Structure 1
Amino acid sequence: MDETDGQPRTRPWHAQPSTDVIAAFTDAVARLNADGDFIVRALTDQLLAERPIADQEELTPQEISYLTRSKAFTPESFEKTSTRVARGGVLASVASTLLTGVLQTMSASAAAAFLSMDEDSLFAAADRGELYAVDVAHSRRFPSWQFSLSSPGKILPHLTEIIDIVKDKGWVSVSALMATPQPVMVTDGQQSPVEWFRRGGDVETLARIIEAQKWR
C-alpha cells in the first residue's frame, strides 16, 4: 500500500498480469517473427534482476516537501511521477530498451552463416576479441552493428580496436551509441559510428566520445 498525507491507499492495479494481457503479449512476441523463447527469456531475466518496487525505499514526507518547495516537482507532477514508478513505468522502459537491443543482435548460427564460418570458429574469434559477443538469457549473441556487407570480411573496419574500447561498457548502451549520429563525426552531415567507420573514420574519435560520456 502507498501512503499519501498519512492515509493508506490501495493501488488500483494488480502485480499479477491478467490472462488477456499475457495472451496479448504472447501474440506480440510471435508477431516479431523472431526467436520467441529467447526474447521472453531475455525480458524475464532482466525483470528478475530488478528489485521489486515494494522493496525500494519511499521518500519521507519531509523529502517530498523539499522537492515541491524547491520546484523540482509540483505536487501534481510528483504524484504523476510516483504513480508511474509504482506501476512499473521505469521497469517497462528498461525492458523496452533491452528488447530494442536484443532485436539488433544475431544468434551464433545466424552470425556464423553470415560470415561463412562454423560456430566453433565464430566463438574462437569472439574469445580473441575479433568479434563482439554478448551474453543474453544464457545465450551468446552478436550485435549486428559490427557486420558490414560493404567491408572486407563483412566486418566493420577497426572492429578489434572498437571492441577493446567498449568491452567493459554495457552492450545495450554500446549498440545505441553505434547507431546514433554524433556531432563530432561529420563528413556529409553527422554520422553514426557505424557510418563513420564504413567511410574510413578513425577510432580515436570514438574513444574521445566514450571518455566524455557516462556509461552503465
Structure 2
Amino acid sequence: MKSEDAQVHPLDPSDDAVTEFIDTVNALGVDGRWLVGGFTDFLRLQKRGGGPGMTAEERKFVIESGAMTEAELVVSERSVARGSLEKSAGELWLRTYQETWSANTAAQFLGWTQKEVLAAAEEQRIYGIPVRGRLRFPRWQFSLGSPGKLIPHLETVLPVLTEHWDWISISAFMSVRQRSLVAEGRKTPRSWLRDGGDPAAIADIVESDKWW
C-alpha cells in the first residue's frame, strides 16, 4: 500500500484547490483567462515521457556515493512522483512572467506607440516574448537613466542571447552577478551594460555557456 507522500492525486474541476487557484488569479486584477492559458501552455510542455525512473544500479550508485541515504532517496522519488519538478518549473515561469510588461506598459515607459514597440520587437531592437498570442517585454532591458530608456547595446546582445537560450534562461542570466564582469565588484550583465561595459564580454559568457 502506498504512503500518503507517494500518492498522486488527479485534479478535479470541483476540487477546493482549483477554486482557490481561480480566486487567487481573479484577485490579481489581470486578464485571468489569458494568464492561465499561457501558464497552461507552459505546463503542457512539461508532459512526462513515462520513463521507468532510476535503475537499481543507479540507485545503488547514488546511495554508495554518499550523495543521498536510502531514506532521502525514497523521499526524493516520492516528491518527484507527485510533481515537484513541474511545480518548481511552474513557479519559475510565474516569477519570471511577473517581471515582464505588456506592450502598452512598455510603450508608456519608452514614450512610443504600441505599434512602434511591436515593430521594434519584430526587428529585435527590443526583446518581446510571446505568451498566448501577445508579446510581453522582460523588464531587465529597460533603464530609466539610459539613452532611449533601454540598456546600452541591447540590439548587439539580443541575437546572441536568443540564439542560445529561452526567455526564462535569459532573464535569469541578466540578473545574476558574473565572475568575469568586474568593475568595483561583480556585476550582473544588465548592470554591466547599463554602466557602459563592453557587450563583447556578455557574448563571451553566453557562447561559453558558463555563467553563475
1:110 corresponds, among 105, 110, 132, to 105
Match of 1:138 in 2: 133
Q: Does 1:26 align with 2:27?
A: no
1:178 corresponds, among 169, 174, 177, to 174
CA contact (8 A) 2:106 2:137 kept: yes
Please report how far the alpha carbon of residue 31 of structure 1 lies from its aligned counterpart in structure 2 after TM superposition.
Answer: 4.7
Which 5+ residue runs of structure 2 have no aligned equivalent? none
2:45 corresponds, among 46, 49, 72, to 49
Q: Does 1:196 align with 2:192?
A: yes
Please report how far the alpha carbon of residue 91 of structure 1 lies from its aligned counterpart in structure 2 after TM superposition.
Answer: 0.3
Alignment partners' CA distance in 2, 1:181 and 1:44: 31
Tell me the amino acid that sits aligned with residue 184 of structure 2: D
**1:66-125: CA deviation from partner (whole Å, max 9, x where unpaired):** 433343432111101101100100001111111111111111121122222222221211
Quote the sequence identity (%).
34
Tell me the amino acid that sits aligned with residue 208 of structure 2: A
CA contact (8 A) 1:39 1:102 kept: no
CA contact (8 A) 1:39 1:99 kept: no
- RMSD of Structure 2 on Structure 1 (CA): 2.2
**1:125-152: CA deviation from partner (whole Å, max 9, x where unpaired):** 1121211111123321111111111111
**1:176-212: CA deviation from partner (whole Å, max 9, x where unpaired):** 1111111222222222111111111110111121123
Tell me the amino acid that sits aligned with residue 179 of structure 1: S
Which 5+ residue runs of structure 1 have no aligned equivalent? 1-7
Residue 167 of structure 1: SS of its match in structure 2? Answer: helix
Alignment partners' CA distance in 1, 2:34 and 2:177: 30
Match of 1:4 in 2: none
Alignment: residue pair count: 207
Alignment partners' CA distance in 2, 1:134 and 1:148: 18
Q: Does 1:160 align with 2:155?
A: yes
Residue 106 of structure 2: SS of its match in structure 1? Answer: helix
Q: Does 1:71 align with 2:80?
A: no
**TM-score, with normalisation over the residues of structure 2?**
0.86
Q: Report which structure shows greater RCO (CA 8 Å, sep ≥6).
A: 2
Alignment partners' CA distance in 2, 1:79 and 1:93: 19
Please report how far the alpha carbon of residue 35 of structure 1 lies from its aligned counterpart in structure 2 after TM superposition.
Answer: 4.1
Match of 1:128 in 2: 123
Alignment partners' CA distance in 1, 2:29 and 2:176: 25
Please report how far the alpha carbon of residue 52 of structure 1 lies from its aligned counterpart in structure 2 after TM superposition.
Answer: 3.6
Task: Spell out the pairing of 1:63-102 with structure 2 (5 A cutoff).
Answer: 63-102=58-97
Segment drifting more, 15-24 vs 165-174:
15-24
Alignment partners' CA distance in 2, 1:92 and 1:31: 21
Please report how far the alpha carbon of residue 213 of structure 1 lies from its aligned counterpart in structure 2 after TM superposition.
Answer: 2.1
